[in-house]
Structure formats: structure tokens, C-alpha cells
Amino acid sequence: MVEVRFDKNFAKTFSKIKNDLLREKIINQIKKISEYPEIGKPMQHNRKETRELYAKPFRLSYAYLRDKSVVYVLDLYHKSDQ
């Protein structure tokens, strides 16, 4: 298992979510990432070195630093905002 750290952007967006079921989905996805950090889809081009995991209707963006065993949860955004 790796250490999980949260970016300000993620914390701000997550704090605005009032639906408990959706919050629980996102928390479960973060738990999956902490157990299997390479589970997310690798991004390309200007977002290289990051990965994404889908938590309907949001995308969870994170970066996995293998050498430090740390996952940085970067952002949570709606799929339509891509």
C-alpha cells in the first residue's frame, strides 16, 4: 500500500459534494488506488505522468511516484469538463 496525499484542487471540489453516496464512491476509488496505484488509465501528451480513474460522473486524476511510494490525488472533475 502507498501513501496518499491530496492536492488543494481535489480537497476543494470534494468538499462541495453533498451526496453521501457519491462521496462514498470516490472514497472507495481512492482506496483502490492506494492498494493498486497503476489501476488508472495512463494519460498522454500534456498530462503525461498522470493517471485517471472513473467515479461516475467524475474523473479522478492522480499521479503515482513509484520511487517514493506516494500517490498524489490531483483533481476531481466532471466528465463533461474535459
Strands 70-78, 51-55: pairing is unpaired
**Structural domains of the chain, with CATH:** 3-81 (3.30.2310.20)
The x, y and z cell numbers of residue 39, run together, are 489501476
pLDDT at 41: 92
pLDDT at 82: 58
Instruction: Please report where in the chains the cell 489501476 appears, as a residue.
Output: 39
pLDDT at 47: 85
pLDDT at 81: 63
Per-residue pLDDT of the chain (82 residues; tens, 9 = 90+): 889 999 999 999 999 999 999 999 999 999 999 999 999 999 999 888 899 999 888 899 999 999 999 999 999 988 766 5
Cβ-Cβ contacts under 8 Å for 71 (sequence gap 6 or more): 2, 3, 4, 5, 33, 34, 37, 62, 63, 64, 65
